[in-house]
Amino acid sequence: MKITSSLFVIIVLLLSACASVEVEEGVNPRINNEVAAEANTKLGIAYLRDGNYEMARLKLEKALKLQPDSPEAHEAIAILFERVGETGKAERHYKETLKIKPDYARGHNNYGQFLCTQGRYKEAEKEFLLAANNPFYSIPSLPLTNAGLCAKRIPDLVKAEEYFRQALARDPAFAPALLQLGLISYSQANYMSVRGYMQRYQEVAAHTPESLWLAIRTEYALKDHQAWGNYAVMLRNNFPDSDEVRNLEEWENERRSGE
């Protein structure tokens, strides 16, 4: 079963950019520095989101020069360094983020996904649970799903399924957890269960190539020709360049050659 890296959601990219900063004369310099640091952090995040890593680094380093104790700036530059493969620097900034703000749930989630990609599964699990158990975190289903994804990498499907179910207990409409439980059910040949998860999934989220490919194989296994055919049309029309379309074509060729 493929692990979709995009499911390791990084909320920091939701911040919007700020184009300019007005520094007020006569105001406490620390306040001006905080305002300028926040603006540079938002600009850095915008550049990071757009893939302009050079400008992102310049803005985030400027933000940290203005406000060295900004957890948001440390978090953003940690993600930047992780993206470009400078894992040592990334970890130092993740740790600094949580040193400054120990109860920062989003920071624990993002550090957890970093640790998981490094194969440090026990440490990652601890960070995800710190995020999920923070009573002020609005989306505990996110770190619980990430904990499940991390368990899949071990692989430990029993633990993964447990975390996905915990995520749905917190938020029954959390689409990534629904998809992952569908994938696990498919691996167990529980096709009716997969269909149920996919029906719930499409009620709360738009289909992705991965979800459509799962639905195609499931409906084929359930012998619903019309349903899997409809899903195949959706996959080809909406995601013509995806790996899943290539998988579909290979799969159909194998079926024809076997007939």
Tell me which residue of 49, 80, 52, 77 sits closest to 65, measured CA to CA: 77
Q: Residue 28 — pLDDT band, cuts 50, 70, 90?
A: low
- Identify the CATH homologous superfamily for domain 172-259: Tetratricopeptide repeat domain (1.25.40.10)
> Which distant-in-sequence residues (6+ apart) come within 8 Å of 159 by Cβ?
148, 151
Place of tokens 């459509």: 212
Instruction: Return the pLDDT at 90.
Output: 97
Distance CA 153, CA 159 (A): 11
Instruction: Return the pLDDT at 2.
Output: 38
Q: 199-256: per-residue pLDDT in tens? A: 999 999 999 999 999 999 999 999 999 999 999 999 999 999 999 999 999 999 998 8
CATH class of 1-102: mainly alpha
Q: 113-139: per-residue pLDDT in tens? A: 999 999 999 999 999 999 999 999 999
* % of the chain surpassing 70 pLDDT: 88
Asked whether residue 14 carries a pLDDT value surpassing 60, the answer given is no
| DSSP secondary structure string for all residues of the chain | ----GGGS--GGGGSPP-----PPTTS-HHHHHHHHHHHHHHHHHHHHHHT-HHHHHHHHHHHHHH-TT-HHHHHHHHHHHHHTT-HHHHHHHHHHHHHH-TT-HHHHHHHHHHHHHTT-HHHHHHHHHHHHT-TT-S-THHHHHHHHHHHHHTT-HHHHHHHHHHHHHH-TT-HHHHHHHHHHHHHTT-HHHHHHHHHHHHHHS---HHHHHHHHHHHHHTT-HHHHHHHHHHHHHH-TTSHHHHHHHHHHHHHHHH-
* % of the chain surpassing 90 pLDDT: 84
Q: Which residue has the higher pLDDT, 69 or 17?
A: 69
* Mean pLDDT, rounded, for 159-173: 97
Distance CA 169, CA 165 (A): 6
Asked whether residue 65 carries a pLDDT value surpassing 50, the answer given is yes
Tell me which residue of 9, 13, 18, 70 sits closest to 40, measured CA to CA: 18
Asked whether residue 177 carries a pLDDT value surpassing 70, the answer given is yes
Tell me the C-alpha to C-alpha distance, in Å, between residue 210 and each of 175, 195, 259: 12, 14, 26
Instruction: Return the pLDDT at 33.
Output: 87
Confidence (pTM): 0.88
Q: Which residue has the higher pLDDT, 45 or 16?
A: 45
Every domain of the chain with CATH number 1.25.40.10 lies at 1-102, 172-259
Tell whether the torsion through CA atoms of 238, 242, 247 and 249 is positive or negative: positive
Instruction: Return the pLDDT at 86.
Output: 98
Q: Residue 112 — pLDDT band, cuts 50, 70, 90?
A: very high
Asked whether residue 51 carries a pLDDT value surpassing 80, the answer given is yes
